[in-house]
Structure 1
């Protein structure tokens, strides 16, 4: 699968695992099978961050998969926080996450409890009910991207 946004091979993975992209989500984007719902969720977040729509569609369960996903160049995915990823059973699993993003110079957080099923030897994203909240961080607060720097000197206003 091709990535719309290139990533340096030594760069940390966009999913926030702390591992290099090449050792984290890249293998999934190149066809490896995710071993857990959390691994699939992280790789799907990375696909959003890299604007890799083909990967998102390829990992979406056929029963809920849209026919297409329009590119979204105005959304900048900045950070992922896994709130809960309980151990999955043999057939299904869930992942509760927060995904921080900027759109038109405004910060937002998407929260979702995603459902996954295990079929045909692999995990598939089924659905979730997302909620989106607009955030209003102050200039001297820590940046929501997770860098640890103040927002004014990191992702800016």
Structure 2
């Protein structure tokens, strides 16, 4: 099983491996099933995770897994090549965390409605709307695929706080 990449505060903020833009998954990728299984295993290994992107385990392909209620619902949403096609709703500031920067959090403003186009596990195209916390988690994970970290969306790095 692959481990989640955990970085120091300095490495997380500076130019690091998680700044790499992930590649689009090709329809004939022979490794895709194994990549997804490894992503799900890593996701399930963390009790606090609600979302995880493939780059966070060293797989630089556009794949995310999300489940904001995994303690109640064993069905994870796997998105291959997710693309935000619309962001609407009201702007909300919430403190975000990241499994790749454990023990820190910071305020991030995001809109609370998102429409996402992606491939499901079966290879079918889906377009789904998400709101609230689910919308935030999906935006956070898609950011990872683009090499964007939540600290990049904060007004000031001085607002990053330790949760130890």
Give TM-score scaled by structure 1 length: 0.30
Q: Kindly indicate which of the two structures has a greater share of residues assigned to helix.
A: 2
Higher relative contact order (CA 8 A, sep 6+): 2
Q: Kindly indicate which of the two structures has a greater share of residues assigned to strand.
A: 2
